[in-house]
Amino acid sequence: MKLGRLNHIGVATPSIAESIRYYREVMGATKFHEPFDLEAQGVKVCFVDTPDAAGELGKGTQIELIEPLGEDSPIAKFLEKNPAGAQHHVCYEVEDIEDARKWFEEMGKRILGPTRIGAHGTPIFFLHPKDMMGQLTEIMETPKGDAHWSN
Amino acid sequence: MKLGRLNHIGVATPSIAESIRYYREVMGATKFHEPFDLEAQGVKVCFVDTPDAAGELGKGTQIELIEPLGEDSPIAKFLEKNPAGAQHHVCYEVEDIEDARKWFEEMGKRILGPTRIGAHGTPIFFLHPKDMMGQLTEIMETPKGDAHWSN
C-alpha cells in the first residue's frame, strides 16, 4: 500500500457553530462547507478548507469538525475527557479501499467495523489507535472526480 | 489574518526509529527526511512527506515526528500519558509571523514563549491549547523559496 494524501484531520468539538466562529474569526479560514448529519457514525460534520502549497482552497488538507449527535455518539466520551474539543483522528487516502483493508488485516491491525460510506461519499474504515502508534486512523478511498467537494 | 496551509501535523512518538518503520511498513510512506535534534525545544524531529492532491511529494502536509530529548523534554509528560505516541499539535502557515503574533495577542490568546526558529528554519510560535479549542497550535511563517525542504 502506498501512502496517499492526508485528506483531513478530524477535530472533535462540542459545537460546530462555535468552531466555525473560531476558525473564521481566530484562524482566518474563509471556506466552510455546509454542516450535515452523518447518522451512521453518530456525528454532525462540517468541513473547513485550508489552502494547498499554491494557496488554492479545495485541494489542501481539510479540517473535519465533528460534533456528537446525541449522548450515544462515539465521540461523546472523547468530549467528556476533552470538553473544549481536541484532535480526534487523521484520514489518509488510498487508491483502493478493499486492497487497503486486506493490507491492514494481513498485518493483524484491528479494523473498527465494516467498510462504509464516509463523510465525503467514498468508502472508508477506521483502525484502532492502539495498533497505529496512538492515532485513530481513517482510511478513505480517493474520490474520483470532484464528488468529494460537493459537501 | 488569513489561514495558511496546514504545514504539518505534529505526532509525538517514544521512538522516531520505530515511527519511521511504522510509516514505511504499515502506512506506505516513501519519503523520510533526515532526523535532527531541535535542542531549543527539547525534541528530536523527523519529517515525513505525504503527497498533495496531484500525488506530488514535498507539497502535501507533512507529518512531524517528535521524540523527547531527555527527561526534561516538554513532550516527556505528554508521552507518559500517551506511551504509544499520539497526535500532539497542528501547524498552520502565515504570511508574516509578527503580524500573526499581534493578531493573536490582541485577542488575548496565550502565546507560549517568544517567537523562535522552528524545525523548518522559519520563525514560529505556539498557542495554548485551552485558547484554541483544545488544540496545541503552532503558527509558522511560510518559508520563502525551497529552504524548508532541506531537512
Interface test with A, best of B27, B63, B66, B88 (most A CBs within 10 A): B27
Residue of A nearest to B144 (CA): A53
Instruction: Over range A27-37, report the average pLDDT.
Output: 97
Q: What local confidence, expressed as pLDDT, does residue A147 receive?
A: 44
Specify whether B39 is catalytic.
no
Residue B145 forms contact with A (CB below 8 Å): no
Q: What is the ipTM for the molecules in this complex?
A: 0.93
3-state SS string for chain A: CCCCCEEEEEEECCCHHHHHHHHHHCCCCCCECCCEEEHHHCEEEEEECCCCCCCCCCCCCEEEEEEECCCCCCCHHHHHHCCCCEEEEEEEEECCHHHHHHHHHHCCCCEEEEEEECCCCCEEEEECHHHCCCCCEEEEECCCCCHHHCC
Cβ contact B11:B19 at 8 Å: yes
Residue A11 forms contact with B (CB below 8 Å): yes
Class of domain B6-145: alpha beta
Instruction: Over range B98-106, report the average pLDDT.
Output: 98
Helical (H) or strand (E) element with B24: helix B16-25
Question: How many residues are recorded in chain B?
Answer: 151
Percent of chain A with pLDDT over 90: 83
Name residues 28-47 of chain A within 8 A of B (Cβ): 28-30
Architecture of domain A6-149: Roll (3.10)
State how far residue B77 is from chain A, nearest Cα, in angstroms. Answer: 15
Q: What are the domain boundaries of chain A? A: 6-149
Q: How far apart are CA B36 and CA B47, in angstroms?
A: 10
State how far residue B133 is from chain A, nearest Cα, in angstroms. Answer: 5
pLDDT digits (tens, 9 = 90+) for B13-66: 999 999 999 999 999 999 999 999 998 889 999 999 999 998 999 889 999 999
Task: Please indicate whether, in this complex, the C-beta atoms of B134 and A22 are within 8 angstroms of each other.
Answer: no
